[in-house]
Structure 1
Amino acid sequence: MAQVEWRFSDEEVESILDIVSKQEHNPFVQKRREQNVAVADIDITQTEFWNAHLAALLTSQQRSGPDSHVSKFLKNDIDTLSLSQCRSVDDVSSFVADTLEEYGGIRYYNNIGDACEKNLTRLDSGGWNELWEELERLIDLRGQQPKDGIFETERNVATYLSNRFAGEGFHRIGSKQARNILQILGLTRYEIPLDSRITKWVNENFDLPYHISGAALSTPEYYHFTMDIVQDCCSTAGVLPCIFDAAVFSSYDTTWTESDADEIF
């Protein structure tokens, strides 16, 4: 397949540097730098993965700013749907859906419940071992300084989560959600969740020959193509994509606190 070579104007590169500079002291950006950029020995538990997976499901297609129902649930009540709690009930789908419906303000609770049941069954039926083998590839890289080429491993592991885990991928985990899981766990620096905030910012600040379609990002090939554009411009600007992502995300909310950043994502 032919490789598209993108060339970016000084204005486009400066737009990335500007948004990062403006948000540099935002607690959300500082947390991202600490959690995803600093060289670290990472040890991920089953509970941590489950919570990251739940956060990815909850933040899909609904508001997740610091004052949203989703963020408040993740900050204060995520233990009500902990791995141990879900393992203790006979009907995981109904348990999750009923818990979220009762909490209020969270959409798609039936879909989330269905996904939790299917994914827990796959994990506890031998899935954890194969999952750890994949995540170990990123854990090893997090013990090193960022360097070119790492994005390929990150992309492969994200694709594993969405397409190949247990033969078919995690249920209701697409390209965006897979990267959300890995980013929450502190495992990625280059592959980021391309949500509406990112696509809006790119459409407004990059002079592309087409308008990035949020709907089309559900197609892996289109997602990767768009991700290449973001990564290439970030590379030209000397900015890690995960920091660019945090800067854009936090720029739409002015109320992020250190507590929010620590406890939600």
Structure 2
Amino acid sequence: MQFQWQVDQTDIDHVKTFVASHAANPFVRMRVERNLASAKPAVDRAEFWKQMVGMRMTSVQRSGPNSAVAKFLRTTPFPLEYDGFDRETDGEARRDLISSTLRAHGGIRFSDKIAEDLSRNLDKLNADQGWATTLKKVNALALRSEARQERELARYLQKLLHGFGPKQSRNLLQSLGLTRYEIPIDSRITKWLNDFGFPVTLTATALADAGYYEFVLDGIQALCAASDVFPCVLDAAIFASFDGDAWTQENTIY
């Protein structure tokens, strides 16, 4: 059996008009500037760690411009700097420090589970060739990437990292400014697509399955290809449509 996504002119016109209506939004402009750049800065351990912390925190909690998560990620200096954890060998002490830092900030749910996942992820990255292999794969996307290449890396991160399912693995890559085609399908995306008339009714529960997630993402990518719009830009436009002018050039972090 085979399935083929069909995109008609009405769909194309809808997407083009929608994206154009949000093109001036700072959040959309920043996404275009970062993710569509012809070449991107190399990702080091500190940057990967910071974005891994941030994207693990976005799971099942608000992440808009005025959310506790966004405020935490904008804090300078960053409260969970990598240099403070790469030398910490006591896993329990590391977990306690991460958890207490999140609780002290306030408004962030599941601090203990987040701390456990992040600590275990750091152990995996520090083991064997974890960092070397991961950063090599990640930085391969610094030049113009292909959809297949991005998907393979999203699958790798999902398998490697605790607390990172199909959505969070893509959230991480997008926050690093690396991906054009693989996007996190969150509640905003599902609402917009359901209202748009996407042929499959989307739910968060079903999207937790990696196979189903990729099936839906194939449909989004087909829609974007027909509309001459990169999925990461459609994602930014949808995000901006929910938050209006709350994102500025200064506070945009994703």
What interval of TM-score do these two structures reach, taking the shorter chain for normalisation?
over 0.9
8 Å Cα contact 1:94-1:113 kept in structure 2: yes
In the alignment, what sits opposite 2:25? 26
Tell me the SS of whatever aligns to 1:80: coil
2:223 paired residue among 224, 233, 242: 233
Q: Which of 114, 130, 133 matches 1:112?
A: 114
What is the distance in 1 between the residues matched to 2:242 and 2:77? 24
Q: What is the match of residue 145 of structure 1?
A: none
Deviation at 1:88, TM superposition (A): 4.6
Equivalent position amino acid for 1:227 in 2: L
The structural deviation recorded for 1:3 is: 4.4
2:144 equivalent in structure 1: 141
What's the counterpart of residue 190 of structure 1?
181
Q: CA deviation at 1:96?
A: 0.9
CA distance in 1, matches of 2:48, 2:77: 13
Q: Sort the Cα spacing of 1:46 and 1:207 in 2 relative to 1 into closer, same or farther, 3 A.
A: closer
Select 1:156's aligned residue among 132, 136, 152.
Answer: 152
Q: 1:216 aligns with which of 203, 206, 212?
A: 206
Tell me how far apart the structure 1 counterparts of residues 38 and 144 of structure 2 sit (CA, whole Å).
Answer: 9
- Over the matched positions of the two proteins, sequence identity in percent amounts to 37
Structure 1 residue 206: Cα displacement: 2.2
Contact 2:34 2:40 survives alignment (8 Å)? no
Q: Which letter does structure 2 place at the counterpart of 1:128? A: W
8 Å Cα contact 1:12/1:206 also seen in 2: no
Change (3 A) 1:100 1:6: same
One-letter code aligned to 1:179: R
Q: Which amino acid aligns with 1:135?
A: V
- For 2:103 and 2:77, the matched residues in 1 are separated by 14
Q: Write the deviation string for residues 14-58 of structure 1: whole angstroms up to 9, x where unpaired.
A: 221122111101111000001000211431111010011111101
**1:252 aligns to what SS in structure 2?**
helix
Q: Which has the higher helix share?
A: 1
In 2: Cα distance, 1:171 partner to 1:65 partner: 24
The aligned length equals: 249
Call closer, same or farther: CA 1:39–1:69 in 2, change over 3 Å: same
Q: Report if the CA contact (8 A) 2:40-2:178 is conserved.
A: no
**Kept after mapping to 1: 8 A contact 2:94/2:119:** yes
1:80 Cα deviation (Å)? Answer: 1.2
CA contact (8 A) 1:196 1:214 kept: yes
State the TM-score, normalizing by the size of structure 1.
0.90
**Deviation, structure 1 residue 216:** 1.0
* 1:116-172 superposed Cα distances (whole Å, 9 cap, x missing partner): 110111111231011123223322435xxxxxxx11110000000001xxxxx1011
State the alpha-carbon separation in 1 of the partners of residues 196 and 139 from structure 2.
36
Cα contact 2:64–2:243 (8 A) shared by 1: yes
Q: Return the letter of the residue paired with 1:84.
A: D
Over aligned residues, Cα RMSD in angstroms?
A: 1.5
Give CA-to-partner distance per residue, 1:151-201, whole Å, 9 cap, x none: 1110000000001xxxxx101111111111111111110000000100110
TM-score by length of structure 2 reads 0.93
Unaligned runs of 5+ in 1: 143-149, 164-168
Structure 1 stretch displaced more, 128-137 or 107-116: 128-137
Residue 61 (str. 1) matches residue 60 (str. 2): yes
8 Å CA contact 2:55, 2:171 repeated in 1 = yes
Q: CA offsets, 1:91-135, max 9 Å, x none?
A: 111111111111111101111100111011111123101112322
Unmatched 5+ stretches in structure 2: none
Distance 1:152 1:11, change over 3 A: same
Whole-angstrom CA distance in 1 between matches of 2:144 and 2:215: 23
Instruction: Report the equivalent of 2:84.
Output: 85
Contact 1:119–1:170 (8 Å) recurs in 2: yes
What is the SS of the residue equivalent to 2:142?
helix
Runs of 4+ in 1 over 4 A off after TM superposition: none
